[in-house]
Chains A and B, each alone.
Chain A
Amino acid sequence: MTSSQVVQEVPMRRIAIFGGTHGNELSGVFLVKRWQEDGTEIQRPGLEVKPFMANPRAVEKCCRYIDCDLNRVFDADHLGMKVTDDTPYEVKRAQEINCMFGPKGGHKEAYDLIFDLHNTTANMGSTLILETTTNDFTIQLCNYIKDSLAPETCSVFLIEHPNLKYATTRSIAKYPVGVEVGPQPQGVLRADILDKMRKIVKHGLDFLHIFNTGKEFPPCTIEVYKITEKVDYPRNKNNEIIAVVHPNLQDQDWQPLSPGDPMFLTFEGKTIPYEGDSVIYPTFVNEAAYYEKNQAFIKTVKQKLSAKGVRACLS
């Protein structure tokens, strides 16, 4: 292997694990609370790992958010907004979080990596969420976690898109990684889902530790699902939903949906088929929190993502 295929990176130093970015997604809430009391499980030599409750007021009330979705306000406008009495709680909280773990925009002071722990009501299994295609390090991290979890599957969801990408809480770190595990109802803590999330974090931290020791990770290629479009429910002129996700599509996250396949079922029992001209891979199918966002599911396409080798430059 030639040295040009290996990217040298500075070792990782400061890592954060966010739980409760949404206050009713209980796996991350539960884990972060426990790790704040006893962090043995997430400690690794040479790494500072900080568990952090992102939206404590929403956690207290066991709801997604108080005023607005915290996981959508880490853009320049909201982070730079002047705080007044009317400023939504989550915007204030975003600014606090940006001061503590950022600032956003690749600054030196920002945390190296943030794992942001989420649950979904969709049958997505273990999922890692990446923000860009161009980052060798996070691709390598995903590759390591996927290999470590095998034969259990772990999908990688890529939200890079000119207008569908959203301003995530974790995006203030140099390397943002979303962890999404489902299906789990809001306000419920399932042992099996908790176990899956814990394993992802464990392998993720192991990767960072091994990387820091100077081990070289050779070039790799992973399969990812890239967001292409959001699909709303069929609605009447009063904006009321008039059809539900078709039973054939329900729980079929990451499975191919071909032109003509059933997509929705109206109250009158009429099937509405998928009318696109190519196979897509739906995800976030029937996610509770997305009804208000007018999303029944998200369309993705499969693609390969390659990363150069990475190695820590140890002085």
Chain B
Amino acid sequence: MAPIHYLPSLKHVAICGGTHGNEMSGIFLVKHWLRNPTELQRDTFHATPFLGNPRAVDKCVRYIDRDLNRTFSAEFLNSKDSDIESYEVQRTWEVNQIFGPKGSFQAYDFMFDLHNTTSNMGACLIVDSEHSLLPMHMCNYIQKHYTKSSCPIFLYQLPGEETYGISSVAKAALALELGPQPQGVLRADLLAQMQSIMACALDFTDLFNKGMLFPAFKIEAHKVAQRIDYPRYSDGEISAVVHPNLQDKDFLPLKPGDPIFQTVNGEPILYEGNDITYPAFINEAAYYEKKVAFVLMEKHTFSLPALQKKF
């Protein structure tokens, strides 16, 4: 029988909403929990809710100076240059001080980061990589216990890439990415979904802390492979839009020869890859400036070993 992996219990758990100030589900849940935290209490711990980017939340924008979910890399964490006037860089230091320091023994054990997307990604669970054992077990638990919708897993880290998101401050993390929801809009259906998934994730954490043995399992997950930009004119303006056949088809197979964009004159631009691939973040509003029309993923099945708390 495969060996059991033992990990320390999760005592310090944080839940971040409003890392992006116009993704409303997490913002409203965190505000709700700050007023009424009983929902976050479990026998073995209670989770700390906080707003990632309060100034962006006030203005209902993604960020003030730069994307807060890209500044938790060594470059920004270690630059103590007071010349840096970016609000998000200062906020990065604050968050790192409260919940980190990143990579240290004192850092929080776990952080949830709550997001929305304009893409039709459903209730997507985001983990850095399949090597993150505890978050992968948590995903497995959520998929088995939250059955109102499928919860596809997205592994975002490219090989050799440093982590840069806000939740990387903690020792382990899970991000929820729920869509489709326009920026600045709060939909009841997505709010309820996020609330239920969080309750489920906290239940898992509590059971883990209580010593439950989570057996080995196999799980399907999507691993990011490539980011695709819009076709553009020489002046940088986009010259084609996401093809109607691809719009809203996140996590569904895209085959060589399938249309991916449509020009102003109605001509399709076809996918020229050699293999079946799986797109996500299709037509995400915030990614126009990042020059990403969608990301392509590979679908894998991973085997993960059993997990139990280290006594």
Contact = CB atoms under 8 A, between A and B. Distances in A.
B184 to A, nearest CB: 4
B188 interface: yes
B28 to A, nearest CB: 8
Contacts of B285: 185-188
Contacts of A183: 182
Interface in A28-61: 30, 33-34
Interface residues of A, number: 32
A241 B188 CA distance: 13
A286 B283 contact: no
A250 B187 CA distance: 8
Contacts of B69: none
B264 A34 contact: yes
A186 B184 contact: yes
Q: How large is the interface on B (under 10, 10 to 19, 20 to 34, 35 or more residues)?
A: 20 to 34
Interface string B253-286: 0000000001010000000000000000001111
Interface in A178-196: 183-192, 194
B32 to A, nearest CB: 5
A43 B289 CA distance: 32
A187 B183 contact: yes
Nearest to B189: A247
Contacts of A265: 188
A199 interface: no
Given A185-B180, A188-B118, A267-B32, A246 B188 contact: yes
Contacts of A288: 182-185
Nearest to A264: B188
A33 B237 CA distance: 9
A68 interface: no
Contacts of A184: 182
Contacts of B188: 244-247, 250, 265
Interface in A41-88: 62-63
A240 B182 CA distance: 20
B191 interface: yes
B241 A191 contact: yes
Interface stretch (B1-9, B48-56, B151-159, B242-250): B242-250
Which of B28, B31, B237, B285 has its CB near the most chain A CB atoms (within 10 A)? B285
A292 interface: yes
Given A183-B182, A250-B188, A289-B184, A188 B283 contact: yes
B218 to A, nearest CB: 35
A213 interface: no
A185 B118 contact: yes
Given A33-B237, A185-B285, A190 B61 contact: no
Given A185-B285, A186-B285, A265-B188, A121 B242 contact: no
B135 to A, nearest CB: 27
B182 A185 contact: yes
Contacts of B216: none
A63 B187 contact: no
Interface string A219-255: 0000000000000000000001100111100100000
A244 B185 CA distance: 10
B60 interface: yes
Given A184-B182, A191-B247, 16 more contacts: A62-B288, A63-B61, A186-B184, A186-B285, A187-B288, A188-B285, A190-B247, A192-B247, A194-B241, A244-B187, A244-B188, A247-B189, A250-B189, A267-B28, A291-B60, A291-B184
> Which 5 pairs, one residue from A and one from B, show the smallest C-beta to C-beta distance?
A185-B182, A288-B184, A187-B285, A121-B182, A185-B118
17 contacts: A121-B182, A185-B182, A185-B285, A186-B183, A186-B285, A187-B183, A187-B285, A188-B182, A189-B241, A189-B283, A190-B242, A191-B241, A191-B262, A247-B188, A286-B185, A291-B184, A292-B60
